[in-house]
């Protein structure tokens, strides 16, 4: 008896032009789904690297990338149409919808927003029992809140601050705004395209001279489709980072500068219609001081310091996926946890959040700490998932910076530090940084708060969850941070039971809530009332 594939081949010869359709039917939904996933993964790598790789004019590059994104979305929809009862169809709809949403957030074309909303609604309507449906409301809520051309956000001010090791340019906006940034050479410059925006009168088509050693000037111009472009002309090539802050919403671009005397130049602020100063609010009485876990008072507590700005660092990313086991990637997992944690933290008054990465991109270990320092953060939380050659190893643990005290901590530090660019010549400075770490008490207390919160929360879901305790190790990502910092290893990807839980949205949300509770517990240990975030 001939196989089914042989029969399809014979039919293809007879039917000629209908052969491609028969070939598609001959393939399983699973095969097609994984092929599309592979294509999407390659496409996302190109999208993530696009600002560094594009040689074409931005408009042409954007058009080409969008065309490929939309082709991939159509391919996912074709799979669903041909295999509507397959167990992979709801996943295909989800992938297509998220890809469309990401295209909208990156490029700001409202047609991609409409596609994403349509696909999310279709997923909920056609596959109501899918576990993915629980995530639809969050995605559609954010998309529905996005500003379109009929309700434009206002670019209110451009601020420049000169720091000892960076020049900071801050774009102050009326509300959260989709944006795209890109670097170009010849001459060196960085531009930021703000989607669906207008500018105050004082900023319309202006050039603002800075005359410093990094950024020469800022140019503001209006583009088609209600876009505003801010071009920052540079003196020379150098590293930079871009991130968002909230309450009020602003986009911050930090340009690295060589250490040296700070140029004498006032911050540049261009703004209109500033609200009049009102009566001063009566401050609440100060909270009584609280001791560290060891019973003493660190310098931070002696000075009555609180926290407001938190940097969340999703480990790995890009060409460094971290641990990978049976379809689970550490880089993807911790990014999901970081965005969930950010959502929880932003609901707290006076709390600001900075993420070291928001996509599957590579960020060097040293740059992650530099981002935290440049953003004047009060806390640094690096999120990772563990791995072990021992398949029975499971549980969660939290580390603060110090020399390792056992072989297990040494092995984990070696694995997580594998991506460091530092060499043996840096060893004396690294040892000195660890030995003179003046944040050790606060970092230990922060780690204790995170670990105890994970133990309390995760045991509600998994009574056998294993608390591995608070430990210390010389993690490169924590070295040089000017604020208390910890590294949380939330589970073992190499343990079948942990991995099974990590695949569920419920457990991931519990993990995010556990980390959130740890941050808030530590905040309350400093002061009973949260400190209001200030612009720094």
- Report the distance separating Cα 487 and Cα 385, nearest Å: 10
Span 53-61, average pLDDT:
43
Residue 273 pLDDT > 60, yes or no? no
Residue 297 pLDDT > 90, yes or no? no
Least confident among 255-259, 342-346, 483-487, 510-514? 255-259
- Report the distance separating Cα 48 and Cα 360, nearest Å: 7
- Report the distance separating Cα 230 and Cα 173, nearest Å: 13
- For 197-242, the pLDDT digits (tens) are 888 888 888 888 886 778 888 999 887 767 899 999 998 767 888 8
pLDDT computed for residue 105 by the predictor: 79
pLDDT computed for residue 490 by the predictor: 95
pLDDT computed for residue 226 by the predictor: 78
pLDDT computed for residue 44 by the predictor: 82
pLDDT computed for residue 487 by the predictor: 93
pLDDT computed for residue 396 by the predictor: 95
Per the prediction, the chain carries an average pLDDT of 77
pLDDT computed for residue 293 by the predictor: 54
Span 97-121, average pLDDT:
85
- Structurally, at CATH architecture level, domain 25-143 sits in Alpha Horseshoe (1.25)
CATH 2.60.40.3500 residue window(s) in the chain: 153-269
- Structurally, at CATH architecture level, domain 153-269 sits in Sandwich (2.60)
Long-range contacts of 462-468 (CB under 8 A, 24+ apart): 462/497, 462/501, 462/507, 464/497, 465/395, 465/396, 466/394, 466/395, 466/396, 467/395, 467/396, 468/395, 468/396, 468/397
Q: pLDDT band at 57, cuts 50/70/90?
A: very low
- Structurally, at CATH architecture level, domain 299-526 sits in 3-Layer(aba) Sandwich (3.40)
Q: pLDDT band at 111, cuts 50/70/90?
A: confident
Residue 148 pLDDT > 60, yes or no? no
CATH 3.40.630.40 residue window(s) in the chain: 299-526
CATH 1.25.40 residue window(s) in the chain: 25-143
Range ranked top by mean pLDDT from 138-147, 456-465, 490-499: 490-499
Percent of the chain with pLDDT over 70: 72
Structure tokens at 437: 């770490």
If one compares 39 and 473, the residue with the highest pLDDT of the two is: 39
Span 386-401, average pLDDT:
91
Question: Is 397:342 a contact under the CB 8 Å cutoff?
Answer: no
């Amino acid at each position: 008896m001939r196989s089914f594939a042989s029969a399809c081949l014979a039919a293809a010869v007879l039917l000629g032009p209908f052969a491609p359709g028969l070939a598609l039917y001959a393939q399983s939904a699973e095969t097609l789904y994984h092929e599309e996933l592979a294509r999407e993964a390659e496409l996302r790598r190109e999208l993530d690297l696009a600002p560094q790789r594009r040689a074409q004019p931005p408009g042409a590059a954007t058009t080409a990338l969008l065309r490929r994104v939309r082709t991939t979305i159509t391919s996912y929809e074709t799979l669903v149409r041909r295999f509507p009862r397959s167990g992979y169809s709801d996943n295909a709809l989800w992938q297509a919808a998220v890809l469309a949403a990401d295209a909208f957030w990156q490029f700001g074309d409202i047609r991609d927003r409409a596609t994403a909303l349509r696909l999310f609604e279709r997923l909920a309507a056609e596959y109501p029992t899918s576990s993915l449906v629980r995530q639809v409301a969050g995605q559609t809520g954010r998309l529905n809140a996005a500003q379109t051309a009929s309700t434009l956000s206002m670019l209110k001010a451009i601020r420049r601050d000169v720091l000892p090791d960076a020049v900071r340019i801050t774009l102050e906006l009326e509300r959260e705004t989709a944006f795209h940034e890109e670097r170009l050479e010849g001459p060196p410059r960085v531009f930021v395209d703000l989607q669906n925006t207008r500018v105050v009168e004082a900023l319309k088509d202006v050039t603002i001279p800075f005359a410093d050693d990094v950024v020469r000037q800022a140019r503001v111009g209006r583009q088609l489709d209600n876009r505003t472009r801010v071009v920052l002309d540079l003196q020379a090539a150098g590293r930079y980072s871009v991130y968002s802050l909230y309450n009020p919403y602003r986009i911050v671009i930090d340009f690295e500068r060589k250490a040296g005397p700070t140029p004498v130049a006032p911050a540049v602020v261009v703004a209109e219609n500033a609200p009049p100063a009102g009566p001063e609010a009566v401050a609440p009485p100060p909270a009584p001081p609280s001791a560290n876990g060891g019973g003493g008072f660190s310098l931070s507590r002696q000075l009555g310091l609180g926290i407001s700005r938190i940097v969340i660092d999703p480990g790995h990313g890009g060409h460094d996926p971290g641990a990978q086991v049976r379809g689970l990637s550490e880089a993807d997992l911790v990014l999901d946890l970081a965005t969930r944690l950010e959502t929880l933290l932003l609901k707290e008054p006076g709390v600001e959040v900075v993420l070291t990465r928001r996509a599957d991109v590579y960020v060097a270990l040293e740059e992650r700490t530099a981002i935290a320092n440049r953003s004047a953060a009060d806390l640094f939380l690096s999120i990772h998932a563990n791995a072990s050659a021992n398949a029975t190893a499971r549980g969660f643990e939290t580390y603060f910076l110090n020399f390792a005290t056992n072989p297990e901590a040494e092995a984990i530090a070696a694995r997580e530090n594998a991506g460091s660019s530092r060499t043996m010549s840096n060893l004396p400075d690294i040892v000195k940084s660890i030995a003179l770490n003046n944040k050790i008490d606060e970092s230990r207390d922060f780690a204790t708060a995170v670990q105890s919160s994970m133990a309390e929360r995760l045991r509600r879901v998994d009574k056998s969850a294993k608390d591995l305790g608070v430990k210390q190790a010389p993690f490169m990502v924590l070295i040089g941070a000017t604020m208390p910092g910890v590294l949380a290893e939330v589970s073992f990807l190499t343990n079948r039971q942990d991995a099974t839980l990590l695949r569920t949205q419920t457990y991931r949300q519990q993990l995010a809530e556990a980390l959130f509770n740890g941050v808030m517990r530590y905040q309350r240990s400093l002061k009973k009332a949260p400190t209001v975030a200030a612009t720094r």
